[in-house]
Amino acid sequence: MQLSSWSSTAIPVVSISIILIIIFIFFRKYLTSKSTSNQPGLPPGPTPLPFIGCTVQMLLNRPTFRWIHKLMDQFNTPILCIQLGPSTHVIAVSCPNLACEFLRKQDAVFSSRPETLSTFLVSDGYQTTILSPPGDQWKKMRTILIHDVLDPHILKWLQPKRDEEANHLLSYIHNQIQKNDTPTEDGGPGEEETEHVSSVFTILKYLYAFSVIDFFPWLRGKIDFEGHQKIIRTAIQRVRKYQDGLIDERIQLWKDGVRKVKGDVLDVLINHESPKLTDQEIKAQILELMLAAIDNPSNAVEWAMAEMINEPSILKRAVAELDHEVGHNRLVEEQDLPQLNYIKACLKEAFRLHPFAPFNFPHVSMRNTTVAGYFIPKGSGLGRNPNVWTDPMRFDPDRHLDAERKQVVLSDNELRLLSFSTGRRGCPGVLLGSTITTMMLAIMVQGFTWEVPQNESGVNLVENHDDLALAKPLVVIAKPRLPKHLYPKS
C-alpha cells in the first residue's frame, strides 16, 4: 500500500475502508544508546515529550483513530509508533503483509491483551476470555467457551433459539408496518431493554478508548480525564442491574431443583463441572459474550442495508438469489445459508468498508521481537487496517466472489479485513457470528421490499465523526413481499 497516495482530505473516508492494526507496547525501559546499535529501532512516529509522550497531541486530536490515520499519511509509512505516557507505545499497522506477520507468523508472541481500567472492570478482574491476558484463568474460560458453549454440536442444539429470534425480527418489522402504538405492542424493546442495549454499546465505545488513565495508571481514582472512568462504571452498573438479577434467579432455580433441563448458554455455564464456575465468573462471562455478539452483526447489517438500498441493482440481485434458493413459500433457514453467496458477499463488503471499530482488539507481545526490521518490545499489542482494494470506497460485493471458490465466508484468509480477528486471539464464535449476521440480512431482504422515504434521493452514507457508525440511524420504508401467513404473529 502506498500511503503517499492518500489524500489528506480523504482521511475521514479512508478510515472506514481499512481496519488498523494497533499494538500497545507496555514496557518500563527501552534504551537506544550506541552500545545497543545492533538492535533495531522502534518504527517511525512523532517525537514524544519527556514523561508525557504524545498524550497532549492525542487529546487535542480526538477521535484518536483519525489522528493516527493522518500521522500515517504524514510519515508515509505502513507502520507507525506513538508514545503515550512515560512507558507506553502504540504501534499502528496498515498493511496486510505486516498483519500476517503479527497475527499469524508471530501469533504466539502477540497473544496477550493490554490491562486497562475498562477491561478490568468489564471482565470483573479478568475472570473472562476475550479481554483477559494469558494465564490459568484465561485458559480455563477459553476452553469452556470453545468446547461447551461454541462447539458446533452446542450451536446446533441452540438453533431453535436462533430461529425464534429470527422470527422476532420478522414479526417486529411486520408489526412496525402495521403501525402499532408502542414498541412493546409490536415486539420491540421496552424502556429497560433500551437502556440495557444502550449501555452495552457505551461499554464497547469506551473499552479501548485511548483513555489517559491507562497510560498514567497511578491517576486512577484521582483524576477522571474526559470522564471515561465515570462513563464506563455507570454503563457496567446499568447492564448488570438488569442481567445479574436474572442470572441469580436462574442459579437459584437450579439449586432448588425447579429447573432440571438445560435450555440455553446460561444453563450450560451454571451446570459446568470440572471446573465448577463461580457466580462471579458466570456473570462476567455472560456480559463479555453479550459484548462480543452485539457489535459486528448489528453494524454490518445496518450498513449493508444502507448500501444496498442506495444501489438498487445490488439489492435486486440479493433478492433474486433468495427467490431462487429459497422461494416465496417458506422463510429462509440456516440450512439455506451455504447457498446464499451473494448475501454473504454483501455482508463481507460491509465488514470491509464499514467495520464496527477502526481498530481490531489490541494484542500484547509476550517477549521482545522484531517485525519488518523494527524492534517490538515485550508488552506490545495489535489492531489492523488494509487498504489494498481496487476502488476501495465503492460498495462492491462482487470483489468477494471467487469463481474457483464455491463458498463465500465472512472472514478473510489474506487478512485484508478482520471481521472476526484470527489466531489465538481470534473470535472463537466465528461460526455463530457469521450465522447470526447472515440470517439477519437474509430475513430482512427476503421478507420485505425496501426504499427510502419520499422526497429523499437516497440513504445518507455519512459516518459519525467519533466512530464508524452511520451518523443518522437508517430510516427506510418496508413493505411485505411474502404471503401473509409466513409472517409470525407477535
Distance CA 107, CA 293 (A): 24
- Residue 490 gets which letter from DSSP? -
Residue type, 459: V
Is the backbone peptide bond immediately before 63 cis, with ω within 30 degrees of 0? yes
Q: Which residues are within 8 A (CB) of 389 and not within 5 positions of it... i.e. 6 or more apart?
A: 17, 352, 399, 416
In the annotated binding site for heme, the residues are: 427
Paired sense of beta strands 448-451 and 477-480, if any: antiparallel
> Can you spell out the DSSP letters for 396-452?
-GGGG--TT-S---SS-TT-S--SS--GGGS-TTHHHHHHHHHHHHHHHHHHEEEEP
**Contact, 83 vs 45, CB < 8 A?**
yes
Asked whether the CA dihedral 260, 261, 267, 272 is positive or negative, the reply is positive
- Residue 42 gets which letter from DSSP? P
In the annotated binding site, the residues are: 427
Distance CA 315, CA 304 (A): 10
Three cell numbers written together for 49 = 515529550
